[in-house]
Amino acid sequence: MLTLQAEIRPYWSDINKWTDMQEFMINDTPVKMWARTCDAHAWKEVTNICSLPFIYHHVALMPDLHGGKGMPIGTVLATNGVVIPNAVGVDIGCGMCAVKTNIRFEMVTPEVLRKKIMRGIRKQIPLGKEHHKQAQDEKYMPQGFDIDKLEIVKRRYVSATKQVGTLGGGNHFIELQKDDDGFMWIMIHSGSRNLGKQVGDYYNEKADMLNRRWFSTVKSEIMLPFIPLRDPLFKEYWNEMEYCIAFGLCNRRLMMQRIEEVIADAIPDAEFEPMINIAHNYAAWENHFGENCIVHRKGATHARLGEIGIIPGSQGTNSYIVEGLGNPDSFMSCSHGAGRAMSRTEAVHTLDLEKEKERLDSLGIVHAIRCQKDLEEAASAYKNIEEVIAEEQDLVKVKVHLSPIAVIKG
């Protein structure tokens, strides 16, 4: 087992040559890493994580690893008796869903695609910071929760009823794709919208205040304040986190329902298979290596044996429907996507707008890259999805290969 010190820069060139899962130590904490490349920001955060006193067993780093806030995206962190809001992130319950149709793409004319389907989706689904002007029916909201006991959810509930069924911005997307047999698929990436951010920020701040009061050994500047199981705040956060996870699913489900309605209106004989759904920002009680622990997945998804999941590429690249292999070393997890190769700021300042547009146009992909800011989500800003999939062959096996047809960004 390779041992790394807290200062990892001297090992940078070696790390970028890795091809298989590597095991090493940082601050006496075992780390198992599937990523072949990683930015300096993420490595600093990994080092910080490995200083935490309540880590269970080891830290797992997925192939899409890149810098985040407190904990890198693409990290799986198991803990003993504590939850860390920033190890979940602020888009709680963000995830993917996908539906296969009986429509052969070759039968869809460009006019139907652009004028009926794409235009219809944009009309039905608010994008970016937009939301519905009217509250949506409460049947579309999570059921079985006592809202009166959820402080932030109760405060933001009315706003949430206008945000359910909306895409959001950033890296969220709606994409039409085709599989190798020519059948059209619908894929959505979205989360809990502003509700998850409000919950995440509130409890992260509360946890930080508690940690300061306790003179915690976990330094505030690493942005990983924790909430112990014994503290009443644990249950409060956990319940609101679970609501946000459910809300993220409801949000994706409502969007999918309305997209299916648009497609069915444009192509009357359209049929849709059951929706595949998987989240990638959450914490859960699980049993690993014979003990119960709290597993935080931030930009990582569950990949239990036989579990069907989704690993999307970046704009204009392939995506994959996968089946989990239940690898215990990753806490039965896999990557949630390609992972960023450069920051949004770097992408805007370094990528060539015309080249990115030309690449998508040459592939016949309907896209919305129009200005320099759109380069934040260009494919060149992300890792190569084919390499990411190759790096996790012991975590998942590919079931369906999907090529992009048209994409709508938030």
Distances (CA, A) of 234 to 61, 119, 237, 244, 278: 26, 44, 5, 15, 24
Q: Which of 66, 131, 336, 367 is the catalytic position?
A: 336
CA distance 372 to 108: 31
d(CA 257, CA 155): 27
Query: Contact, 244 vs 92, CB < 8 A?
Result: yes
Helices marked H in 164-293 — which ranges? Answer: 193-213, 232-266
Residue 188 in tokens: 């959505």
CA distance 210 to 272: 49
* CB-CB contact of 257 with 125 (8 Å): no
Q: String of b and e for 209-231 (b: at least 16 CB within 10 Å)?
A: ebbeeeeeebeeebbbbbbbeeb
Of 166, 161, 183, 19, the closest CA to residue 106 belongs to: 183
Per-residue CA distances from 101 to 22, 159, 178 (Å): 40, 33, 10
Instruction: Report d(CA 47, CA 322) in Å as an integer.
Output: 31
Locate tokens 């909430």: which residue? 227
Spell out the alpha helix ranges (H) of 125-231.
Answer: 151-163, 193-213
Q: Is 206 exposed, middle or buried (0-12, 13-18, 19+ CB in 10 A)?
A: middle
| Alpha helices for 38-143 (secondary structure H) | 40-49, 85-88, 110-111, 119-124
Residue 336 annotated to the active site: yes
Q: What are phi and psi of 388, to 5 degrees?
A: -60, -45
Residue linked to tokens 């047809």: 405
Cα(40)–Cα(188) distance, integer angstroms:
30
Just list the catalytic residues: 336
